[in-house]
Structure formats: structure tokens, C-alpha cells
Amino acid sequence: MADKPSVLFVCVHNAGRSQMAAAWLTHLAGDRVEVRSAGSAPGDRVNPAAVEAMAEVGIDISRESPKILTVDAVRESDVCITMGCGDTCPVFPGKRYLDWKLEDPAGQGVEAVRPIRDEIKNLVEGLLAEIAPGEAGDAGDARTPGTPGTPGTPGTPA
């Protein structure tokens, strides 16, 4: 793996799961990981319920847009993660391929998307610990805003 690992998240429409996963990894890893997301049949826009669910934890994905999956995106990534949707990536030697079995948030309200968002965060935290472990206090130790113990949260020392 390169000095700075790269991860590609893939789902069919690149409008929900893969967008949330990319946002979590970017948020938690800072500049320690190069992050991409794509879809085999990109939607017109990011799922509004996913946008709302991520906004609830302080992450803005409202400016993101679905992108098409390309061979180059796979070739340039160290880890390729499909999101339980049957998509497959072109296979290149030396790449790590994972399939995260996640419910599809398409057509669901924010109440149904929240548990998917939280499951994605847990998976991303595990991945980050493997590919780019950080030191305490850096972006890899970031907590969700508003979570007790997070600097800046009322009742928590800065």
C-alpha cells in the first residue's frame, strides 16, 4: 500500500451508502487517506435522506454529486469496497476488495437511514484502524460533534 492509502466506495447509484462512507472516511481520516466514491449507474443527485442524516452528525454532503465508476478509479485505489449491492469492480492484482452488506437507503426516510449511517461509521472506523492508524488527538481520533467527550461539546473540557 502506498504511503497514503486510497479507498474507493462503490454502490449502484453513488447516491447513498457510498457517499456516506466516503464522507465518514474523509471526516475521520483527514488527509491520511485518499477517498473516492462511484457508482455503476449514478443517480441524478445524492439521496436527500442521506444528506439529512449526515448533516445531523455535522457532515455536509449536500454539494456532492454521483460519479460513474471507472477502471482508472479502481486501478488507483488500494482498497475497493462495494456496498452490498451486487456491484463488482474490475479486478487488479494487489488490490483489496471488500463487500459491506448494507441496507439500501434509496426511497427511505431519514429515520431508516440513520442506522445505515451509523453502521457505515462503525465499518469505516474499523477500516481506518487497519489502513491508516492514527495517533491520539489527530483526525483519526475525531468523534462525532455533539458526542460527550468531544472537545467543544458542552460539559467537555476543550
Q: Which residues are catalytic?
A: 11, 85, 89
Can you name the residues that pair with 37 across neighbouring β-strands?
Answer: 9
Residue 121 half-sphere exposure toward CB, CA atoms < 13 A: 17
Check if the beta carbon of residue 158 is closer than 8 Å to that of residue 151. yes
Q: Return the ∠ at Cα 14 (arms to 11 and 19), rounded to 5°.
A: 100
What's at 124, amino acid-wise? V
Per DSSP, 30 falls in state: G
Residue 7: closest CA among 75, 77, 96: 77
Residue tagged 487497519 (cell numbers): 130
